[in-house]
Homo-oligomer: A and B are copies of this chain.
Amino acid sequence: MKSLRIGLLGLGTVGAGLVQMASGDGPLSTIIEIVGVSARNRNAARPVDISKYEWFDDPCALAANPNIDVLVELIGGANGKAKEAALIALQNKKHVVTANKAMLAEHGVELAQIAAQNGVEIRYEAAVAGGIPIVKALREGLAANKINSIMGVMNGTSNYILTEMQKSGREFASVLADAQRLGLAEADPTLDISGGDAGHKLAILSALAFSGAPDYAAISLEGIEEIEPVDLETAQFLGYAIKLIASAQAHDGKLRQSVRPTLVKLNNPIAQVDGATNAVLVNADPVGTLTFIGSGAGAGPTASAVAADLMDLAHGDARPVFSGPCIGREVFETADKNSLAAKFYVRFRVADKPGVIAKISDTLARHQVSIESFLQKPPPSTQNVAIVLTTQICNEDVLIDALHELSGLDEFVDKPLIMPLHD
């Protein structure tokens, strides 16, 4: 096993976690040597001593330095310095190990091509689901399988907010504000709560499982901003939890990729993961269904994943960047966004109740959408009544047509909220 000389770009919690592992007495310390580091602020207070490493003000100078074999990129962001430094490292025939899901999801194909041209590797176990070795499981452990679907809870911030809303009965905005105060949500939380972050991770897993190339633009994204306490309460009553589910499903030559709030049956292990825990469920032939659960973020889990990538590189392990079960398989078309066939949860807010239920029922019936259950919740703080229904299995576009017809009615206060049900 050869020793690797590391250039470490980024010294936040994960970078510091890696420095700690590299300086400890564990196996990582015997195979890597950190030679240079770069971060935004040289003098920031850090839990680890970086004085013994060469300091680089310029990430690109670190990436190009002839004394390093591997650039570990931990600064994040789809573009900017992260991508610039990664490209320079690859062009200088250095491997890149990264936790940067946005960069891989949006520029993975370009980066993979440059890595191939230069005969080096890009490794990114830390980019998806933190400490869960899901990239390795897909690209190696299930390499001989045909993947049917992937689904998971992959964004800790959203899951924390939904879990807290469920427990406390509080509103989205109030729980988000708390999460920001506690450092569990960013000042600008958009990427987390609107599904973008989970979408980045899904794009990477989908590339491994289905297509060989991340295609973030093909993913339909919907966040958790519209979820109200009444939805969590009603879901629980129906035997479901609401989770922000990232899923990719291959069916009839088409690939459906989405991130959206989904009602997941309580006995599904995915329904049970709370807070920052991630869960990924893979269905494949011939292995069947596998479930992976673990910490999706944080210094320790992420550093563990980066370290595993470094140890693989030290072992001389070499594979195409997005190799996996997909290689040599069919090319998928992108499925129509609203062609999902499922049971659906629909929540209406109406100003005035009498007669509304009849109008809803009639309209859905005319569109051949069968109702499975109808529930009404008293208004908690407003004068508006929440009416919830669940449908039998139907096509989402048919349901949307029916709801569109209903939207002209005076009684409707808001656009209805639609979420699929998943057993």
A residues with a Cβ closer than 8 A to B are: 17, 21, 26-28, 30, 125, 131-133, 136-137, 140-146, 267, 269, 272, 284-295, 298-301, 303-305, 307-308, 310-312, 315, 317-319, 325, 327-328
Contact = CB atoms under 8 A, between A and B. Distances in A.
Contacts of A295: 287-289
Contacts of A311: 140, 143-144
Contacts of A299: 286
A307 B143 contact: yes
Contacts of A140: 133, 136, 140, 308, 311-312
Given A141-B308, A288-B294, 7 more contacts: A21-B144, A21-B286, A131-B290, A133-B136, A144-B307, A291-B292, A292-B293
A142 B305 CA distance: 8
Given A30-B328, A136-B137, A286 B308 contact: no
Majority-rule SS of A interface residues:
mixed
Q: How many copies of this protein are present in the complex?
A: 2
Contacts of A17: 286
B317 A301 contact: no
A290 B131 CA distance: 8
Given A287-B131, A317-B315, A304 B145 contact: yes
Contacts of A312: 140
Given A317-B315, A325-B27, A328-B30, A142 B304 contact: yes
A289 B310 CA distance: 21
A130 to B, nearest CB: 8
A269 B298 CA distance: 22
Contacts of A137: 133, 136-137, 141
Given A125-B141, A141-B133, A291 B293 contact: yes
A27 B328 contact: yes
A301 B288 contact: yes
Nearest to A312: B140
20 contacts: A26-B328, A27-B328, A131-B286, A136-B136, A136-B137, A136-B140, A136-B141, A140-B311, A143-B308, A144-B310, A145-B304, A267-B272, A287-B305, A289-B294, A289-B295, A290-B294, A291-B291, A291-B293, A315-B317, A315-B318
